Amino acid sequence: METKVISSGIKYTSLPESYVRPESERPRLSEVSDCQNVPVVDLGFGDRNLMVRQIGDACRDYGFFQVINHGVSKDAVDKMLETATEFFSLPVEEKLKLYSDDPAKTTRLSTSFNVKKETVHNWRDYLRLHCYPLEKYVPEWPSNPPSFKEMVSNYCAQVRELGLRLEEAIAESLGLDKECIKKVLGDQGQHMAVNYYPPCPQPDLTYGLPGHTDPNALTILLQDLNVAGLQVLRDGRWLAVKPHPDAFVVNIGDQLQALSNGIYKSVWHRAVVNADQPRLSVASFLCPCDHAVISAPKPLTADGSPVVYRDFTYAQYYKKFWSRNLDQEHCLELFKN
């Protein structure tokens, strides 16, 4: 029986045709080297000026960084990973009760990226949840495993705090008032993608997720400590980001690129798969509220720098993003002046 997801217990001995990328689009894994100097920012160090400067440098030069001493408890992180592992180990019939390929659904299990739009699939299943406000969405979250709602909501609340603190530091690093980014983004939504990449029979022919930038403001990514898979594009080359113990990877998303008038870069990243081990990652996305108007604050163009993007609402952007395939040109290009 063909199932809609790949975490079905079926052992694949070769990659199904619908996952095979054309030669020119393959990941060329042998050419990827490790990212040697991933910026690691210690948020517990105490020297705020230094921390803000490090974040600014990382956002400008890399579009991503890692944070340690970030305030999310080790217990919350461990429980999040355990719960995610338990969820994806459930019998496929149980998981499929949550299956949907409609991006508008606020709680859903899905596969690949956008199965209705894409021509080649990706070797990933994912559970997508809306997470803010928690009391609105938690009732529709999975109740199997039984601890799911409690463990994941605890994790989400702590990650949200971290994200809002990071947005303050990012605003300061641009020379803006600490509250400025949060004010532009409004009462931010929060989404989560719990990504599960089963072992893949031919990892050199496909992706877990192909190169993309995130459409939201800020992404806080928890990587499986034991299985690497995240790669970032830097100076035209894909580099592997080794999981750092007790760290999150923080990605600048498209909205912060637009809001910073292009000073900060929304990083291109991708997930590759491997033949031996399943891999988990948990991406938490902070998203502007739907009617937030994304516009570079005046101080960023006071020196006469041209305004790079026309004003748009997040709702307009999000609709455009999901109407396309993932590995097309940068969606922000469509909003350039």
Q: Which chain residues interact with ligand AKG by CB under 6 A?
A: 193, 195, 209, 214, 221, 223, 229-230, 269, 271, 281, 283
Min dist CB 230 to ligand AKG, Å, is: 4
The contacts of residue 31 (CB under 8 Å, 6+ apart) are: 237, 238
Min dist CB 43 to ligand AKG, Å, is: 21
Using the minimum distance from each CB to ligand AKG, give the nearer residue, 122 or 173. Answer: 122
Task: Specify the DSSP class assigned to residue 1.
Answer: -
Min dist CB 219 to ligand AKG, Å, is: 7
DSSP 199-215: --S-GGG--SEEEE--S
Using the minimum distance from each CB to ligand AKG, give the nearer residue, 127 or 230. Answer: 230
Min dist CB 229 to ligand AKG, Å, is: 5
Min dist CB 63 to ligand AKG, Å, is: 13
Using the minimum distance from each CB to ligand AKG, give the nearer residue, 152 or 209. Answer: 209
Q: Are 233 and 269 a contacting pair, CB within 8 Å?
A: yes
Using the minimum distance from each CB to ligand AKG, give the nearer residue, 225 or 307. Answer: 225
Strand partners, 271: 209, 230
CA 247/CA 222 separation, integer angstroms? 8
Using the minimum distance from each CB to ligand AKG, give the nearer residue, 8 or 223. Answer: 223
Using the minimum distance from each CB to ligand AKG, give the nearer residue, 177 or 322. Answer: 322
CA 153/CA 102 separation, integer angstroms? 23
Q: Are 259 and 184 a contacting pair, CB within 8 Å?
A: yes
Cis peptide before 133 (omega within 30 of 0): yes
Using the minimum distance from each CB to ligand AKG, give the nearer residue, 111 or 261. Answer: 111
Min dist CB 128 to ligand AKG, Å, is: 9
| Nearest in space to 215 (alpha carbons), one of 328, 56, 98, 60 | 328
CA 17/CA 318 separation, integer angstroms? 30
H or E element, residue 156: helix 148-173
Min dist CB 221 to ligand AKG, Å, is: 6
Using the minimum distance from each CB to ligand AKG, give the nearer residue, 149 or 279. Answer: 279
Q: Are 100 and 110 a contacting pair, CB within 8 Å?
A: yes
User: Which residue in the shown chain puts its C-beta closest to ligand AKG?
Assistant: 281
CA 222/CA 244 separation, integer angstroms? 10
Cα separation of the two ends of the chain:
50
Q: Is 234 left (phi over 0), alpha (psi -120 to 50) or beta?
A: beta
Using the minimum distance from each CB to ligand AKG, give the nearer residue, 29 or 307. Answer: 29
CA 274/CA 154 separation, integer angstroms? 31
CA 73/CA 244 separation, integer angstroms? 16
Min dist CB 248 to ligand AKG, Å, is: 11
Q: Are 309 and 332 a contacting pair, CB within 8 Å?
A: yes
Min dist CB 214 to ligand AKG, Å, is: 6
